[in-house]
Amino acid sequence: MPERIYNFSPGPGTMPQEVLAQAAKDIVNFNDKGIGLIEMSHRSKEFMAVTDEAESLLRELLDIPANYKVLFMQGGASSQFAFVPMNLLAPGQTATYLNTGVWAKKAIKEAELFGDIKVAYSSADSTYNHVPKDSDYTVDPASEFLYLVSNNTIYGTQFHEFPKTDKMLVCDMSSDILSRPLDISRFGIIFAGAQKNMGPAGVTIAIVREDLLNRAPATVPTMFRYKTHADKGSMFNTPPCFGIYCVGLVLKWLKKQGGVKGMEKLNQEKAALLYAAIDSSEFYRGHAQVDSRSPMNVTFNLPTPELEAQFVKEATTVGLDGLKGHRSVGGCRASIYNAFPKQGVIDLVAFMQEFEKKNS
């Protein structure tokens, strides 16, 4: 077993080793100030500088326009399933959702508590093995927004192009944010849990267009208003300090790798290696349709569930960890987020080829 295993887990995902090393130092003694990062006041000038730098880097890397607020929030992406309709829909108003997986389905369930939700498309009947084209659905004309999940972690699918519509887009980008360039101006709200591409679990990023901050009905509690957090610079209450700090470190690392464009190139290279191994074999079978394949989460099956279990077990013994697929789809899943090293994919492909020889 290598000193450091390859973590193919869907989340928390791999973080850059240099980030882990720096965080380990700063959690005990931040900037040689004699106090650990997680002990410092979130309102101290030292920690405010950490937050400001993280926001500045995120704005730079994603080219976020000035009329958008960047919020560091708690509650995970799952809390945003309710935040979005609570803040954007008044009683009786309509929104359209695309059901492309478990997380979209959960978001729909929450949204139905607050508005008239139209599900324009669902790929449930095909075990969510694809995302729709624009021609596959119609957005309800009365909709305040169109909601989608950009990358479906469990099933290994991704919207390679975002819907072309005159309706505002709201998007859960938890598993592919910072993996490719974006036109932020097409979205009203983007949110993402950090624990796949940005940092550790505990902080969620919300990018919210300023004109939406006053949309929440008067009945929405203070803590559940985007405006509350925007007005206080994400400091209305004690934020997830360690998570924000780590996000900042990851963003510094990402900038050194060539930014989002550099990440996109590397991600495509890693995914191409793995999909080529699947496509060149009759032993392995990809779950996602080819035109919907995700470069972040590669899902595949072997001839039998018994072989899949054996594959996962043997892979783990040689340092290829976290390859078991989600219970709802079975099989195997290799999550190869931004910080996942290319060598890990090369090693996985070699293992796949050897396993096939031994078990065909």
Kindly report the CATH number assigned to the domain that includes residue 323: 3.90.1150.10
pLDDT at 1 over 60: no
Of 69, 196, 227, 270, which residue is the catalytic one? Answer: 196
Domain assignment present for residue 5? The answer is no
Where are any strands of DSSP class E within the chain?
6-7, 68-73, 94-99, 116-122, 143-149, 151-152, 157-158, 168-172, 187-193, 204-209, 285-286, 297-301, 320-321, 332-335
Residue 260 reports pLDDT greater than 80: yes
Question: Do 145 and 190 share a structural domain?
Answer: yes
213 and 139 within one domain? yes
Name the average pLDDT for the chain.
Answer: 96
241, 38 contact by CB (below 8 A): yes
In the listed set 202, 226, 256, which residue is the last one of a domain according to the structure?
A: 256
Tell me, what's the pLDDT at 2? 53
- 47-106 pLDDT tens trace: 999 999 999 999 999 999 999 999 999 999 999 999 999 999 999 999 999 999 999 999
The pLDDT value recorded for residue 257 is 95
**Domain presence at residue 11:** no
Residue 89 inside a domain? The answer is yes
Clarify whether residues 44 and 143 are in a common domain: yes
Q: Pick the catalytic residue from 172, 176, 227, 324.
A: 172
Q: Are 217 and 24 in contact (CB under 8 A)?
A: no
How many domains are contained in the chain?
2
126 shares its domain with 244: yes
291 is known as an active-site residue:
no
Q: What is the pTM of this model?
A: 0.95
Whether 106 is catalytic: no
What is the span of the domain harbouring residue 280?
A: 258-359
Q: Answer yes or no: is 301 within a domain.
A: yes
Instruction: Kindly state whether residues 187 and 52 are assigned to the same domain.
Output: yes
Residue 188 has pLDDT above 50, yes or no: yes
Domain termination site, one of 195, 224, 256: 256
Long-range Cβ contacts of 227-230 (<8 Å, 24+ apart): 229/71, 229/73, 230/69, 230/71
Q: What is the pLDDT of residues 192-245, one digit of tens each?
A: 999 999 999 999 999 999 999 999 999 999 999 999 999 999 999 999 999 999
Judge whether residue 293 has pLDDT over 90.
yes
- List the catalytic residue out of 26, 69, 103, 324: 103
Query: C-alpha distances in angstroms, 161 versus 98, 189, 217, 291?
Result: 14, 17, 32, 11
Whether the pLDDT of residue 174 is over 90: the answer is yes
Residue after which a domain boundary falls, among 256, 282, 313: 256
Read out DSSP for 192-236?
EESTTTTSSTT-EEEEEEGGGTT-S-TTS-GGG-HHHHHHTTT-S
Is 196 a residue of the active site?
yes
56 & 182 share domain: yes
Note whether 87 and 187 are same-domain residues.
yes
CATH number of the domain bearing residue 128: 3.40.640.10
pLDDT of residue 329: 87
Could you tell me if 218 and 319 lie in one domain?
no
Is residue 8, in this structure, part of any structural domain at all?
A: no
Average of pLDDT values for 159-171? 97
Query: pLDDT, tens digit, for every residue of 19-39?
Result: 999 999 999 999 889 999 999
Q: Enumerate the β-bridge partners of residue 172.
A: 149, 191
Tell me: do 164 and 233 sit in the same domain: yes
Instruction: Provide mean pLDDT across the span 157-181.
Output: 97
Residue 214 lies in a domain: yes
- Contacting residues for 183 by C-beta, under 8 A, at least 6 apart: none
**81 and 222 together in one domain:** yes
Q: How far apart are CA 222 and CA 227, in angstroms?
A: 9
Q: In what order do the strands lie in the sheet with 68-73?
A: 68-73, 204-209, 187-193, 168-172, 143-149, 94-99, 116-122
Regarding whether 244 and 278 lie in a shared domain, the answer is: no
pLDDT, residue 328, reads: 83
Residue 274 in domain: yes
User: Are 179 and 295 contacting, i.e. CB atoms less than 8 angstroms apart?
Assistant: yes
- Residue 9 belongs to a domain: no
Same domain flag for 90 and 182: yes
